[in-house]
Chain A
Amino acid sequence: MVDVNKLREKAKEVVSRDDVRMLIGYRPGTYGFRARPAFVQGPDEVDELIFTPACVNNLASYIVLEEKLPVPRGEEPDLRKVAVMVKGCDSRALVQQMEEKAYDRERILVLGIPCTGVVDMAKVEARFPNVLERGEIALEGDKFVLSTGGGKEEVAKEELLADKCLRCRYPTPLVYDELLDAEVARFADDDYSDIVELEKRAGAEKWAYWEEKFSRCIRCYSCRNVCPMCYCEDCVLERLNPQWMRRSVDVSENTAYHISRAYHLAGRCIQCGECQRVCPVDIPLMELNRKFYKDVEELYDYEPGTNAENPPLLSTFKVDDREDFIL
């Protein structure tokens, strides 16, 4: 884990630079073990920055989500860099955004954090419900130490680790200007066992499973809003002419929504798991994304967010792509 003093020192150095507009990092939340994003504008604000296993948010989203207001006449646009702290998975979002030419590499300054895994807040809250005072989570050896004013408790790492971290292939950021700690070797791998299990079911059984999940959806669009890859200015969900997806909340429209959301991430999803984390009705969205992730890897030998020089998957082709499904 990163030494917090070193992190703040580095953050201070970065935000003091003339060519940096702000730094996006983490700070403690208002209650419980949570952490929340921090937007640091000046060197006097760095003292609250932290990095702990509670820092689950993918900060890469904020780079593309920031509203680009029109510049008043006579004023120059602010072209200074945005500095951002990224874990391994978040850095892949940056790589994929740059692969899609969302912005230039010069516009961002990346502080890479080699990550040994973050917690799943749902698992933490199931184990420690209703913690209202501020608590801290730290990793010591292979145990998470959760401490509040009232005391300390140790929990085995696997029990609280987020699912995405149990399958993480890239714990060390793939793109960075400065690395804040020593590189972390790959400690897990993805075998898609959950997807294979779902694929094996019979057709009617699969639909029964998904129909129940989709019927729960309330169309809050949290999954779209939090996604670092969903940054179209004109989203197909909001387009009224032609209106491809109606706004009514029923199984048909919800299915259409989830198919298109997942399809728009085919060959783009970098497995940060943010969509599933924010879902208020616990739809297993990563099971949809991971199906595409698996297919893309198996059919086209392509892994999103690993090389910014790669062309985007669906805007290229190979003459000898698989076509055994074609009549």
Chain B
Amino acid sequence: MAENSDFEPNIVAFLCNWCSYAGADLAGTSRIQYPSNVRVIRVMCSGRVNPLFVMNALQEGADGVLISGCHPGDCHYMHGNYYARRRFNLMRNFLEYLGVEPQRVRMSWVSASEGAKWKEVIEEVVNGVKEVGPMDQFKRRQLNW
């Protein structure tokens, strides 16, 4: 896909309430500048994120999806993030198998104190998606009757 410098991707981020959401909040309160392409959806735990959410986001026009939770061992619900890790490892591999670039579905661990890491993660995700261009595989198309 041709690199397009004007292309501003839409990234949907599913953040766990206890770590990543607070980490993103910390980035905001600390006035850390990070790309504004990300739309945050707060969930109670990364284990709450159903792979259907990811698929639906990609269908509805997201160019990339980020799932972020607590570091292993730090989950508020003991081990929700471990389940999420298994799920999305398989999901990522499968989407890659179908021809969806692996840069579009990312996962990260960001704790409540890692505002700076949040910035790095977002920059990495946005640059990755910019590289592969707009999502055009199975986005819903408007029908013209």
The residues of A with any CB-CB pair to B shorter than 8 Å are: 198-199, 203-211, 236, 244, 250-253, 255-256, 259-260, 262-263, 266-267, 288, 291-292, 295-296, 299-300, 313-315, 317-319, 321-323, 325-327
Main secondary structure of the interface of B (DSSP, over half): helix
A256-B55, A327-B124 are known contacts. Are A263 and B94 too (CB-CB below 8 A)?
yes
A259-B55, A296-B90 are known contacts. Are A323 and B85 too (CB-CB below 8 A)?
yes
Nearest A residue (CB) for B97: A291
Q: How many A-B residue pairs have CB under 8 A?
A: 107
CA distance A63 to B108 in the complex (A): 42
Jot down 20 A-B pairs with beta carbons below 8 A, ordered by A.
A203-B99, A204-B99, A208-B99, A209-B99, A244-B56, A250-B141, A252-B140, A256-B138, A259-B51, A259-B94, A259-B98, A263-B94, A266-B90, A317-B79, A317-B86, A322-B89, A323-B72, A325-B88, A325-B89, A327-B125
Query: B52 interface residue, CB < 8 Å from A?
Result: yes
**Docked-complex contact A252 and B97, CB < 8 angstroms:** no
A291-B97, A321-B82, A326-B108 are known contacts. Are A252 and B90 too (CB-CB below 8 A)?
no
Nearest A residue (CB) for B139: A252
CA distance A263 to B59 in the complex (A): 16
CA distance A291 to B89 in the complex (A): 13
Main secondary structure of the interface of A (DSSP, over half): helix
A252-B140, A260-B55, A263-B51 are known contacts. Are A325 and B92 too (CB-CB below 8 A)?
yes
The residues of B with any CB-CB pair to A shorter than 8 Å are: 1, 51-52, 55-56, 59, 72-73, 79, 82-83, 85-102, 106-109, 121, 124-125, 137-141
CA distance A203 to B94 in the complex (A): 12
Contacts of B139 in A (CB 8 A): 252
A206-B99, A207-B100 are known contacts. Are A317 and B91 too (CB-CB below 8 A)?
no
**Docked-complex contact A321 and B86, CB < 8 angstroms:** yes
Nearest A residue (CB) for B120: A327
Nearest A residue (CB) for B117: A327
Nearest A residue (CB) for B137: A207
A299-B89, A317-B82 are known contacts. Are A262 and B94 too (CB-CB below 8 A)?
yes
Contacts of B83 in A (CB 8 A): 314-315, 317
Picked from B56, B82, B108, the residue with its CB within 8 Å of the CB of A319 is: B82
Report B112 CB to chain A, min CB distance, Å.
Answer: 17
CA distance A128 to B109 in the complex (A): 59
Nearest A residue (CB) for B101: A203
